[in-house]
Structure formats: C-alpha cells, structure tokens
C-alpha cells in the first residue's frame, strides 16, 4: 500500500481496540481515487495488532470508486461497532459533488457495522437520501470517532457544503440505535469542516471544529441536537490549530483515587504547519485549557490527523498520522495532567 491516513479509534465492550483508516493504494491524495477503508484490532491495549481487514470496498472501477475519511462509534446497547465514510463514485468527493442525492451526482454518506467485535461487517450502504439536503453539494461524516450520549443517542460529527458551496461543521444522530438517522442539521459556523463532538453534560453537545480561517479551533454548543447553536467562549482563541483535523474525548479518569471527567484534545498544536502532535487536557469540561496540562507526543512534521480513545481509568490511547503511516501510543493520564 502507498499510504495509510485518516484514523479513527474506539474501545469495545470486550476491551478490544478497533482502529479504522484510509487504505490509499496508489498515492497519498484524497478522494477521488483508489481508496478503501481498513480496520485493525488489538486485544492487548495496542501492544500488538491483528492483520488488517478491508471493511469498505465499493468495487470496480477501483481507481474511480473510492471510499474513505472514516469515523467509528461503539454502541454498548447493541454491542455494535458503526463505521461511517464518504463514498465517491467517480469524481463525487468534495470538489466534484453536485446538488442532489444519487451517487451519480453527489458523494454518499455510507455506513457499515459489525456485531461480532469486528470479525465480520455488513456491506456498506448509503443513507444520503434520508439525511442530506438535496440543495447541498456534499454531506458526510467528520472523520475520527462518534459518541453515545447518556440517553443512548448515537452521534457522529458531520460536515456539508451548502447550495453556495460554503462549508459547515454539524452533527448527525440516531435515537434508535442506528435504524434511522437525523441529518439536514444546519451548522453553527461557516468555513468549518472536520469536527468532533462530546457530551459535556446530559443533553449538551460541544462541537470542536476545524476552522479554515486558520490559527485556532472553533467551538460551539447545542442543547437541542443542533436546532440552535451557541458559540463557546473559548472558540477561536483557546486551542491552536494549523487548519487540520483534531480529536476530542470526554472520559472518567482516576486522579489520586478519585474519578473525574476529563476532556482530552489531540492535534498538531501549532498555528501554522503540521508538527508537534500534542495531547491537552481540560479539568472543567472544556471551559479552560491550562498550558500545564499538555503533553508533546511527537515533534516531527506529519499529516496531522489523530483520534483518542479510553484505555482504562488511568490511561488513554492515541492513534495519529506520521507521513504516510499511522502510529499508536498508550498515554498515562498523569503524563498529560502532570499528576505527581
């Protein structure tokens, strides 16, 4: 293979780690192209990984029928792993998508799932006709990982280019464990694309967005599943970013024997150029970000995408891009929070 890119990562009920990513067969370029979605599984917290599986392949002509930019989500109510991705039939990725709903006119929001911890997967299927505004040019998931809310609602970050080809970050969700999905949700801020989402409090979602104005992440919250958005006070000032994808994770960790919800954030923490892969932590659900709670993971130049997941109450896992390759590291929480 030429390049592996766009990682997503989750932990299942069996404590397996499941990673998904682009298999870019012929070059490191984005869709359209000969791209499939691959999966790797670890049953020992990332020490070793089983042989790669291809879980999304849209068939011939492979060079012009790619699928990529995956996001992964684990639903504990069904013990089901979901993977979302963008299918480009011909030149129907971001630049080549037109208005409409069919694969011949626009990129497709496709899903697959596994009910046996990643051993087998259903054939990918499109939900675009049910979730996309036909006036928009393209609508698909935000790469990385989705979440399950306290009430069981499944949520993926998403993105769309509207009727004027202006991009917005947004969300898509399901209240019935993936049987039906709700989309067509207007995003909070223009010129944003790849985003990730957490639930800060029951019913409150925080959307952390790649902002193409550059230099910082934009952040918004909603209390009504995207019907209304409020720009967060940290938006476009707290988290440096060189226009790249990033990951955010809320997870209970053990601090001096006490469980506390911590929000972790991973990205190339610069205002320009992709280097210095970093994990940051917020002890107050994203209200503030202390420079003290920050860990430089890898200072080298890289493609810059990353995804976080929980390992246990004392450690998190990070998968991130180098140059054409992916890396995994297990990180003790105390190394980010500087706990003595």
Q: Which residues are catalytic?
A: 194
Question: Would you state the torsion angle of the CA atoms of residues 159, 296, 44, 195, taken in this order, to the nearest 10 degrees?
Answer: -10
Q: What separation in angstroms does the CA of 170 have from each of 186, 188, 291?
A: 6, 7, 28
30: left (phi over 0), alpha (psi -120 to 50) or beta: beta
């Amino acid at each position: 293979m030429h390049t592996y890119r766009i990682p997503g990562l989750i932990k299942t009920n069996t404590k397996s780690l499941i990673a998904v990513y682009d298999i870019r067969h012929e070059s490191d370029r984005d869709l359209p192209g000969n791209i499939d979605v691959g999966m790797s599984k670890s049953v020992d917290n990332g020490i070793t990984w089983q042989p790669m599986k291809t879980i999304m392949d849209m068939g011939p002509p492979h060079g012009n029928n790619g699928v990529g930019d995956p996001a992964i989500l684990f639903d504990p109510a069904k013990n089901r792993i979901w993977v979302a991705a963008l299918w480009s039939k011909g030149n129907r990725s971001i630049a080549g998508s037109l208005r409409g709903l069919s694969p011949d006119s626009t990129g497709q929001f496709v899903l697959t799932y596994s009910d046996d911890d990643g051993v087998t997967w259903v054939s990918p299927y499109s939900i675009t006709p049910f979730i996309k505004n036909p006036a928009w040019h393209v609508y698909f998931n935000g790469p990385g990982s989705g979440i399950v809310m306290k009430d069981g609602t499944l949520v993926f970050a998403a993105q769309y280019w509207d009727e004027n080809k202006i991009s917005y970050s947004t969300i898509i969700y399901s209240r019935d464990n993936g049987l039906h999905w709700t989309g067509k949700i207007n995003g909070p801020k223009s010129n944003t694309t790849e985003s990730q989402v957490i639930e800060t409090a029951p019913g409150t979602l925080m959307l952390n967005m790649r902002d193409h104005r550059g230099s910082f992440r934009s952040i918004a919250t909603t209390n009504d599943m995207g019907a209304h958005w409020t720009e967060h006070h940290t938006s476009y000032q707290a988290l440096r970013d060189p226009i790249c994808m990033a990951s955010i994770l809320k997870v209970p960790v053990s601090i001096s024997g006490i469980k506390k919800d911590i929000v972790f954030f991973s990205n190339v923490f610069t205002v320009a150029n992709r280097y210095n892969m970093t994990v940051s932590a917020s002890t107050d659900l994203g209200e503030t970000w202390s420079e003290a709670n920050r860990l430089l993971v890898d200072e080298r130049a890289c493609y810059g995408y990353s995804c976080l997941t929980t390992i246990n109450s004392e450690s998190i896992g990070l998968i991130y891009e180098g140059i054409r390759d992916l890396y995994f590291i297990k990180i003790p929480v105390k190394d980010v929070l500087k706990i003595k």
